[in-house]
Structure 1
Amino acid sequence: MKNILDKWNSYKYRFVPWIALNLKNRTSRIVTTENQDKIVPDDEVRDCLLRLLPHFYKNLSCENSQVTMAKNFEVMTKMMGFTVERGPSNLTNSQGVGTGVFVRNGKVPKGSLVALYPGTIYRPYEPILLQSLGNPFIFRCLDGIHIDGKDTGISKAIYKSCVQRDRLGGYLTSDLSWLTQYCVNPMNVGQYVNNQSKGASCNVAYQEVDIPEDGSTFSLPLLSLLPNAFYSSDFSDSKLFNQRRKRRLIALVSVVDIPENTEILSSYFTLVH
């Protein structure tokens, strides 16, 4: 019985009838239209990545991934004025203290890109039920796309398989290091950002950003640092016929100034009227 309850407690946040009945008891972020769900223009998020990623990529020549991560922490601190890292959360739940994400080495100005939510991208018509069982890391976008950010079990195996499938020559087209202890892109930790509570309000919000995969904006080396890969092997968008698909990124953008050593908190529920 306990196992069944645990699975239900994990799944219920994706069961629409349960969400509708319990919204009054949930902390949520409310926007009036889908367009107003943007904290900053998408171009600002893309420009920030285009400034950072070339410097992260230069450090990939280090053989030791721990050294690469440390060097890229320094890059992020120098260029952004802060960095982020995982650590024991300040929040407690039924299972005790979990993992959270914290601001280090500076403070975050309002409207800054703080982190990215990694994982496998599932279009609305693609199967995700099996992967979602007991999985608290499923992110649902406004248009029905899902991102599976779990870094263990079947979710991990599927993501690795998709990344290896989409290799171009000897180059990866997505980041694999977020599945490990040492992220070469320090921002790829957004799945561990916890939900706000009544005593601790959110300081970041999720923003959906699409990235062209045709090389017009992000070159292949830079794509290899982005933490998302499509479940499908189809490289075109069916809605746009033969046009090259765009990769969905989930950016976590600060909605207030965030002091150093503060835990990053989001709102898992955004209501669009």
Structure 2
Amino acid sequence: MNYLEERLKIYMRDAKKIRKLKSVSRPRGVSVGDVVCLYGDNGPIYAVVIDDDKETKNCVVLTPELILSGEGLLVRVNHLVSLLRVTPLNFYLTRDMEKYCEVVGKVDVERIAESHRKLKEKAYRGVRKRFYRYEVKRIEIVYNMFLEFLNEFEEKASDSIVLEWDEINHLFDRKDLETVFADVAVAQGAGVDLSKFLVVAIENGVKIVFADELIGKVGRVLLAGKTIYSGRIPLQLQIDFHRPVSIEAIVKILDVQIEETQEG
């Protein structure tokens, strides 16, 4: 067994799955550029806030495991550890989750975001692939909390539409299907914010939450250039593919077009 294999084995033995988060004694507002620590029952989760859309904050996961994590940018903090590394993982922080956050540093967001973007584009294999798969499971609690937030949001909103893949798959040719069903990335996060809408990976599809300024306007939702919905833009649109899909691939071929209002 080589060194990395042995290190991963030890890491997986010692870094147990986090099943509960602990509220901090004096929570404060979290803003873009903050390095935060969420205290779990089996260790901390470190992240840096890179974007804020009022309801949620996009956070890049940082890890104190500097060797297994690879080539991400190093971030210096004065906390339980002194160095953290940027990873290809991200999660979304809701307002309710901020009570678990302690701000432990401040960083240059642009450099963090650029490092994160480059890491997400890599194809991981071997030990590194297994490490990130394990990390996703280890911090699964933050992804579940975000999905609970979306479910509660959906329950409050009657304006939600569900599309079944069987209803729209006839629109796509073979090349389109290869794009739609691209390989699911090992480091796939919970969602991708495109300012017009938030795209969230669910078990066998995606959920699209539209920006406030789009809701109620007349327009079209397109996937790979094909119109899959037209009419007034709802609060949410869910596409059930009946199988896991790559959220990164879907984001690249998803678009919303709003009809211009005619004056006079």
- Coarse TM-score class (shorter-chain normalised): under 0.3
Give 1 or 2: higher strand fraction: 2
User: TM-score, normalized by length of structure 2?
Assistant: 0.25
User: TM-score, normalized by length of structure 1?
Assistant: 0.25
